[in-house]
Amino acid sequence: MILVQHLSKRFGRAHVLTGLDFAASAGERVALVGQNGSGKTTFMRCLLGLYRYEGQITVGGHEPRTERSALLEEVAFVPQLPPAFRLTVGEYVELIEATCRVREERIFSLAHELGLDVEAIWDRPFPALSGGMKQKLLSAVAIARRPKLLVMDEPGANLDPTARRILYTQLARLDDDTTMLLSSHRVDELAGLVTRVVELDGGRIVLDDVVARATELDSIAGSTQAFVELVDAPASVSSTLQEWGFVPTEGGWRGTVANPDRFRFLALMTRWSGLVRRFTFDDPRGPQGPGDDLSER
């Protein structure tokens, strides 16, 4: 479904994607993870034909820049931040009906599941909706289109836990041959839904992990206490640790890593091997168990 070869993208002198290779077959559900600025959004925008790029991309056999309309017939996208267009909800739904092969009844039904009554807000300006309402509507539209490729940037970002759970259920109900590319900062958000985890860092794929069973990540849900002692802590490293929720303590940094994210965290430690003096994962088998000093094994 997706074939990416030697993809590079730069803005001025800033190289955001560097020689990236990626392939996903029909039905694969990929979690695209990485820190802020890792290139996730740029990668998705290249796939959607919003950016020029170097290298080759085909999505469903179509080249994103030269065959945009044909490609976008088969692709649905939900951005992280809802657009601020000056339409009413009704006009937005009419726009979708006019440009995509979808019936409004299906949008209503899916939105209703998420707790949004579209008909009741038909005449309201789209910008007047709350962030959660916009996200529900955009998600309902994307799923209603039954795309061959569904691209969602932080799908659960603006949703309450209940709506998030229902959204993931709706995603799981999509046809088996629907390919998904779901961007998130944290894998645990998508545990149970994805079959593969791809991590970007510095515009490159640094981790590509196939999950054998859809429930594999879910079955190890939970979290693990971790401790990192650094030789030196440059600002970028401190910033990344803070994004992981770590706080500086005496002698190092302490935080909690969601179990599905542990491999990603280990990969991060590997890349920082020159900076890390010691790090430990507490033994998840028991609260009193001694920490596993992974750096000494």
What are the DSSP E strand ranges found in the chain?
A: 2-11, 14-24, 29-33, 54-59, 75-78, 149-153, 179-184, 196-201, 204-210, 223-230, 247-249, 252-258, 276-282, 291-293
Residue 96 is a binding residue for other proteins (CB under 8 A)? yes
Question: Does residue 127 contact residue 84 with C-beta atoms inside 8 Å?
Answer: yes
- Does residue 138 interact with other proteins by CB under 8 A? yes
Query: Is residue 21 near other proteins by the rule CB under 8 A?
Result: no
> For other proteins, what does the binding mask look like between residues 149 and 168, x meaning CB under 8 A?
-------------xx-xx--
CB of 74 to other proteins, least distance (A): 9
43 binds other proteins (CB under 8 A): no
Q: Cα–chain-centroid distance for residue 119? A: 30
Q: Is 214 exposed, middle or buried (0-12, 13-18, 19+ CB in 10 A)?
A: middle
Q: Give the separation between CA 180 and CA 61, rounded to whole angstroms.
A: 16
Q: Considering only residues 170 through 209, tell me which ones interact with other proteins, judged by CB under 8 A.
A: 173
Instruction: Single out the residue of 86, 176, 235, 287 in contact with other proteins (rule: CB under 8 A).
Output: 86
Residue in this structure with the two tokens 């065959």, named with its chain if needed:
67
Q: Which of 109, 215, 249, 270 binds other proteins (CB under 8 A)?
A: 109
Residue ranges that bind other proteins, judged by CB under 8 A: 45, 48-52, 68-69, 72-73, 75, 77, 79, 81-87, 91, 94-103, 105-106, 109-110, 112-113, 115, 138, 144, 146, 162-163, 165-166, 169, 173
